[in-house]
Amino acid sequence: MKISEKAIKELIKLRSEKIKDPTKTLKIVTFPLWQGEGDFGIVIQERIDTDIIINDANNNEIISIDAHISESVSKAKLDFKIINKIPSFKVDIY
């Protein structure tokens, strides 16, 4: 998965503000864990041994991916955009 610089910056900010428990992580998931718009979403969840971890250039964890969807998003791009004044992450898998 490719992650834009804007998305990396926002994910790092989100991690520092929202995750206080070291057993938790930001994770890209699908239904039923994700129940928002679109097929994929980012949630705070327990880290699982089978998760695929994506690190930044300094080897800091940015985000993880549920192992069962890792192949589906392997060529995807994760970006951060503000649309109609609403900040959001977008996963483009096409």
pLDDT at 36: 82
Residue ranges making up the domain that contains 85: 2-92
Q: Please report the pLDDT score of residue 38 as a whole number.
A: 79
**Total domains present in the chain:** 1
Q: What is the CATH number of the domain that holds 61?
A: 2.60.300.12
pLDDT at 13: 93
Instruction: Check residue 70 and give its pLDDT.
Output: 85
Distance of alpha carbon 27 from alpha carbon 64, whole angstroms? 5
Sign of CA dihedral 67, 18, 37, 75: negative
- Using CA atoms, how far residue 71 sits from 1, 10, 23, in Å, is 9, 24, 24
- Cβ distance 9 to 85 under 8 Å? no
* pLDDT given at position 90: 87
pLDDT of residue 94: 67
- Per-residue pLDDT tens digits of the chain, which is 94 residues long: 899 999 999 999 999 999 999 899 999 988 888 888 878 889 999 988 999 999 988 898 999 998 888 888 888 899 999 988 988 888 887 6
